[in-house]
Structure 1
């Protein structure tokens, strides 16, 4: 029985896949309390600053790795990205923001030192200077401080990339507690096909200086008879102040015949604001063929992932072996007489 047990364990160990763990980011960052900080959340900068005021934001970087790390610091205005979430990682493209230039975070924030090297196990403090213009405003300015670790030479050789592992600290600045009622606009509602992907598209604009949280977007496409041919609901999103973005609801492998359709869109947020739009669309024969070709492309069967198949087969084998072992132990116990 012992021989069977040890043989069984050895068999299991041979079949268990080896798991390799990456080093990870090797650093963390944390904001230091600022004189203008308001509210009880200290995980980001929530500042209430008067016009023409200045301050310095301090961020501590901790090197948790075993080698020196060089870290780059950037500031960006907050935008709404293609996933309908807040983003500070990239410089906004033209048209992504309708915020006046003198109130954009990337204009009012400057970095004295854009790069810092931190020894293993040590920490350093970076600074970002904020200078508000002599302008009064209601609502919020949204931005972010992004810290990115440069890749080590060995990592560059393996991946060909220059930087990796980034953290961002949001910065929200306001001058007063005046509530701003959000206003959204939707333009250019359409069906578009690009790179074998058909989507219901709409250009969304948040024309007010306020953040929308808990955003849910519902899209629906109905034919001339009122039959719903496509519907989608996206939840738990956010929209940045005075930001513009294109929302895409993928039709995936949905086919569309030529004819007239009604495109309905509804957006709500966690403060119970609601916006609805409706547009009649005409799909001609040429567009229908393009949409259906894209749908056919998306229904092509994907190749079998033999790694997943192998892991499932392995799990089944281990389960069966455990069952066999349990059965043998049970029979052995029944045959063993009780000691008096």
Structure 2
């Protein structure tokens, strides 16, 4: 593929991150965020804090060991990213951070690296958050992830047989900090368009960027890649519910396959010129 010409017209709606239940349980331990008084949105399963510049606050999350055995839980802080499915991910990933990210929440948060829980023990984990000194509009978004450490007896038996298996459980709580509730104008930028592969299938990767300190929710995307050199070629993509975290980018994969076929067989991408309409 020598050249791609892009035409883009995208309608977007800006809303806040979705809420959920106040408590989450895994098979081995439970995680319960204790929401403070300065929580912007009540009755949700994540932190959304209103703080003045340079102010500090200690957050609390209650962990409970639901088993008869000692549990070691790792605590990880990460900046929110947008994955290839168009979903905000608050857990640690290998995705690169966007160039527009001015405040990485990892730099403004302190948490213990591990928490040890005795059998059926409850423990409140304290996490310190400090707001940047510089005033800003918008939101800094990240996540607090609690990840189980260690192997179960079944894992050890599998390892003895030469099978590499490890069962782990993790739960991520979104952590949003803001200095005011002002809504920022939505922006969505188109960057690179390149041929690529996902799981051995050919795709057209369209890189989209949200450069603002605000969420983009319910982004409705309709895209078509048409061949200009080979006019019989057309690849389509449709998704009415994409979401992007503040100051992130991601590669939206448009498959080079027949969307109406029962089995989506990847087609070879022929050299030539293509046009993207989105």
TM-score, length of structure 1 as denominator length: 0.64
Aligned pairs (5 A) from 1:305-316? none
Partners of 1:260 and 1:92 in 2: CA distance:
32
Write out per-residue CA displacement over residues 96-142 of structure 1, whole angstroms, 9 at most, x where no aligned residue: 35211xx211110011x221121232211111100112111111110
Is the 1:79–1:92 Cα contact (8 Å) retained in structure 2?
Answer: no
- Aligned mate of 2:236, from 195, 211, 231: 231
Q: Distance in 1 between matches of 2:59 and 2:42?
A: 17
Q: Deviations over 1:220-273 (max 9, x none)?
A: 1223487662211123231010112222122242355554332122xxxxxxxx
Q: Name which structure has the greater RCO, CA cutoff 8 Å, separation 6+.
A: 2
Classify the secondary structure of the residue corresponding to 2:168: strand
Larger radius of gyration: 1
Aligned partner of 1:262 in structure 2 is 275
User: Quick check: which one's strand share is greater?
Assistant: 2
Gaps of 5+ in 1: 1-23, 266-340
Distance change >3 Å, CA 193–CA 73, structure 1 → 2: closer
Q: Out of 129-138 and 144-153, give the one that drifted further.
A: 144-153
Change (3 A) 1:71 1:227: same
- SS of 1:164's partner is coil
SS in 2 for 1:107: helix
Is 2:202–2:268's contact at 8 Å kept on the other side of the alignment?
A: no
Q: 1:250: which partner in 2?
A: 255
8 Å CA contact retained: 1:68, 1:119: yes
C-alpha separation in 2, matches of 1:187 and 1:73: 34
In the alignment, structure 2 segments of 5+ residues that lack a partner are: 1-25, 258-265
Map 1:81-230 → 2, pairs under 5 A? 81-91=83-93, 93-96=95-98, 98-100=100-102, 103-111=103-111, 113-152=112-151, 154-157=153-156, 158=158, 160=164, 164-193=168-197, 196-224=200-228, 229-230=234-235
Against the structure 1 CA distance between its residues 92 and 174, is the aligned structure 2 distance closer, same or farther, given a 3 Å change threshold?
Answer: farther
More helix by share: 1
Q: Distance in 2 between matches of 1:185 and 1:146?
A: 30
What is the CA distance between 1:81 and its match in structure 2?
A: 1.6
Alignment-derived partner of residue 68 in structure 1: 70
Q: How many residues align?
A: 239
Map of 1:48 onto structure 2: 50
TM-score by length of 2: 0.77
